[in-house]
Amino acid sequence: MGKVVGIDLGTTNSVVAVMEGGKPVVIANAEGMRTTPSVVGFSKDGEKVVGQMARRQTVLNPQNTFFAIKRFTGRKYSELNPESKRVPYTVRKDEFGNIKIVCPRLNKDFAPEEVSAMILKKLAEDASKYLGEAVTSTVITVPAYFNDAQRQATRDAGRIAGLEVLRILNEPTAAALAYGLDKADSEVILVFDLGGGTFDVSILEVGDGVFEVKATSGDTQLGGNDFDKRIVDWLAEKFLENEGIDLRRDRQALQRLMEAAEKAKIELSAVSVTDINLPFITADKDGPKHLETRLTRSQFEAMCDDLLGRLRLPVKRALRDAGMTPRDIEEVVLVGGSTRMPIVEKLVEGMIGLQPNQNVNADEVVAVGAAVQAGILGGELKDVLLLDVTPLSIGLETIGGVMKKLIPRNTTIPVRRSDIFSTSENNQNTVEVHAVQGEREMAADNKSLGRFKLYGIPPAPRGIPQIQVSFDIDANGILQVTALDRTTGREQSITIQGASNLSESEIVQAIREAEKFADVDRQRKERVEKRTRAEALILQAERQLRDVALDFGMQFARNRRQRIDNICRDLRDSLKEDDDRGIDQAYADLQDALSDLNREVRQYYAEDEDDDLFGTIRDIFIGDREQDDDFYNRGYRRDSDRSYGRDYDRGYGRDYDRGGYGKDYDKGYSARNSDRDYGRDYDRGYSRDSDRSYGRDSDRSYGRDSNRSYSRDNSYPSYDQGYSSRKPSKPSYQDNWDDEDDDWL
């Protein structure tokens, strides 16, 4: 088994961490951030985007951008309240009463588990890049107050993402693991976890490698998003009063309100007043409308008073279930970004009487704890014992619709409880078992986990058959049911499928679609990368052509340059037409053309180097003849050599050779051969190599410095040019130069 990572699948943000060197490490995503927004979107091209990229398109593409999916996980549509449905995207129910997320861009509906799987897939891929190996196993955290259906749905999301979920871990317990890993002394801590969409309270006894959960409570429909909605409603009502327009009916306006509300909430944690400015929020027949207002911290706290009351109840219930009072609590750990609100800190301090601990990162501590649990399962950590509890009571529906509890809430898990049932009619051969979860007395008021029937009961008077029904809750908090007919001794193990909103066939289909999506995404990514490479190669070719033209002149490799220009034009046309085959062909041709051009440039330099080597050898045998002249031509100013020597050779010598004087002279005196035999060899061999042997050294020691001091500092280039035009100064060392008359013969 490879590395096991810990994932905090949050409502607002998600985090992934891993154990390295015995210590938990938070893994940054591909964008370099340690937290990844739990947002999935589909662009106008149908491309799937996850995280920050998806969050950026929420305003302009609200119907195809999905967030806060965690609130819909493992729930039926009938369980949603009106507030939960008020999101910019469309939420509907299918023929089975399950929740579906509508994606108009793809003309497709997604189950919440499928959207969560996309987030998990993104986190696993980022972790794989960091670790250098594929991540296939994980520990995923869930709110402590998640019921069995929600836990099953989270596990299903992991399966769809291609991950083996080794453990479903409660978020407060994970935070306690991260906080108390190195605690030697035993202490009782209260973990107050207020995230974006859920709220949990857990009381644990931590110390010496033992983490025992005493009690847990919470609210899966209470979080920072609810505080944001209070600001949204306040802004919308104020705008409705002033302008007569309800912004909540406009998807884009609603999304902008939600983002502004979240920003205002965060700012009010640090300042006492904040300005909210939303220009062009909407428009009517009179023109565009703007929203400008000011919100104070006292106003915000006043509108959230009932939410604070909902925070108090789980704390009191957890203390009561643990048999403790606030005085028994020795440490308070705040978890979740929403605990940064001053009003929440004051509430906790007022209820417990302790200043909350600020030593943990509220955003990352849950993922760190999940990584610790992953390290335990992977064998990296030992001597750590985790004793968690089930958050809700589990039982059966009996006659009259009454719920009989088999496993009370806050029972340490894993746990197995059994009870004996019998038939209610004579000769009854089938018994229906209805498993429910919750704290209400009537089964109908609790969460139905599923119904199943036991067949093959031998005919007998009612009350005679003895059927032992056992409930098993594993370390993940997931329920299994086993039935034993004690009359025949036949045992039958039953997994409650109704706890998950997706059947096994639907899960398999979702896995296939996820793999298909992965292939489509990979192909789309390859196409984008191909176009990026092609555009980069075009820019490289253009830059290279400019450099060659500057260094060697426009006439150098003219044919190759024209060929490269034509290929660049074809490649641009293929990119514009989105012709994959044309792009591939033009890209390959351009690479070949650039390679040929580079080869020609290298060959040119190689010839120069060979000539220089030959000249150095000649210089050794000839001596220092006319070294002063060569120094003047080469050493005095290398730029002068280019402007005078090269220009002279090309301008004067070449023109001279080509002119009537040069051609006849060339033919009569075999100047071409002489030029090659003596002039070129001598010129390159002596002049260049003298430049290398003497001129280069002299050039570096004197020539360059002299050039800089005279030519640059004292502005002597004009002198060189003037001198060149008046007196050629033996430019090519021709045989027909008269040294005495200082002129041509």
Encode pLDDT of 648-691 as tens digits.
344 443 443 444 443 343 434 333 443 444 333 434 444 344 34
| Residue 674 burial by Cβ neighbours in a 10 Å radius (0-12, 13-18, 19+) | middle
The angle formed by the CA atoms of residues 343, 349 and 351, to the nearest 5 degrees, is 100
Hey, what amino acid is at 315? V
pLDDT at residue number 698: 39
Q: Average model confidence (pLDDT) for the chain?
A: 80
Angle at 257 between CA 252 and CA 260, to 5 degrees: 125
pLDDT of residue 68 exceeding 90: yes
Give the mean model confidence (pLDDT) for residues 461-487.
Answer: 81
Catalytic residue among 193, 331, 363, 641: 193
How buried is residue 577: exposed, middle or buried, by Cβ count under 10 Å (0-12/13-18/19+)? Answer: exposed
- Using 50, 70 and 90 to split pLDDT, how confident is the model at 622? low
Residue 471: pLDDT over 70: yes
pLDDT digits (tens, 9 = 90+) for 354-381: 999 878 899 999 999 999 999 998 888 8
Which of the four pLDDT bands, split at 50, 70 and 90, describes residue 614?
A: low
Confidence at residue 543, expressed as pLDDT on a 0 to 100 scale: 87
Tell which wins on pLDDT, 529 or 706.
529
Q: Are 315 and 321 in contact (CB under 8 A)?
A: no
The alpha carbon dihedral of 220, 387, 5, 149 has a sign of: negative
pLDDT band (50, 70, 90) for residue 492: low
> What sign has the CA pseudo-torsion 729, 733, 737, 740?
positive
pLDDT, mean of residues 528-535: 86
Q: Over range 217-235, report the average pLDDT.
A: 93
Question: What does the pLDDT average to over 179-206?
Answer: 89
Catalytic residue among 113, 125, 156, 171: 171
The predicted structure's pLDDT at residue 688: 41
pLDDT grade for 609, boundaries at 50, 70 and 90: low
315-346 pLDDT per residue, tens: 999 999 999 999 999 999 999 999 999 999 99
pLDDT band at 612 (very low <50, low <70, confident <90, very high): low
Rounded Cα distance between 471 and 597, Å, is 77
In DSSP terms, 415 is beta-bridged to 473
Q: pLDDT at residue 703 above 60?
A: no
- Tell me if 162 sits within 8 A of 511, measured CB to CB: yes
Q: Is the pLDDT of residue 621 over 60?
A: no
Task: Answer with the residue of higher pLDDT: 188 or 555.
Answer: 188
What pLDDT shows up at residue 669?
39
Instruction: Specify the pLDDT at position 231.
Output: 96
Percent of the chain at pLDDT > 70 equals: 78
Task: Please give the Cα distance from 151 to 461 (Å, whole number).
Answer: 40
**76 DSSP assignment:** B
Asked about 45 being catalytic, the answer comes back as: no
**How many Å is the Cα radius of gyration of the chain?**
41
pLDDT band at 420 (very low <50, low <70, confident <90, very high): confident
Instruction: Please report the pLDDT score of residue 605 as a whole number.
Output: 73
d(CA 382, CA 377): 9
Given 3, 8, 262, 397, the catalytic residue:
8
Dihedral of alpha carbons 362, 220, 124, 61, sign: negative
Q: Which two tokens stand for residue 577?
A: 């037409």
Please give the pLDDT value at position 50. 94
| The pLDDT of residue 258 is above 60 | yes
Q: How confident is the model at residue 496 (pLDDT cuts 50, 70, 90)?
A: low
Tokens of 259: 């983002």
171 in catalytic set? yes
In three-state secondary structure terms, 294 is: strand
Active site residue 183: no
Give dist(CA 660, CA 680) in Å, integer. Answer: 21
CA 396 → CA 35, 405, 452, 466, 471, distances in Å?
41, 7, 11, 16, 10
Which of 301-310, 502-511, 644-653, 716-725 tops mean pLDDT? 301-310
Most confident of 460-464, 487-491, 517-521: 460-464
Structure confidence at residue 565 as a pLDDT band (50, 70, 90): confident
Beta bridge partners of 416: 472
pLDDT given for residue 613 in this prediction:
57
Residues 78-96: pLDDT tens digits? 988 888 888 999 999 988 8
Is 85 a catalytic site residue?
A: no
Q: How far apart are CA 178 and CA 175, in angstroms?
A: 5
What three-state secondary structure class fits 572? helix
Mean pLDDT of 721-729: 39
**Residue among 70, 100, 122, 289 flagged as catalytic:** 70
Residue 494 has a pLDDT of 58
For 628-648, the pLDDT digits (tens) are: 444 444 444 444 344 333 443
- Residue range 377-388, pLDDT digits in tens: 888 888 788 888
Bridge pairing between strands 479-485 and 490-494 = antiparallel
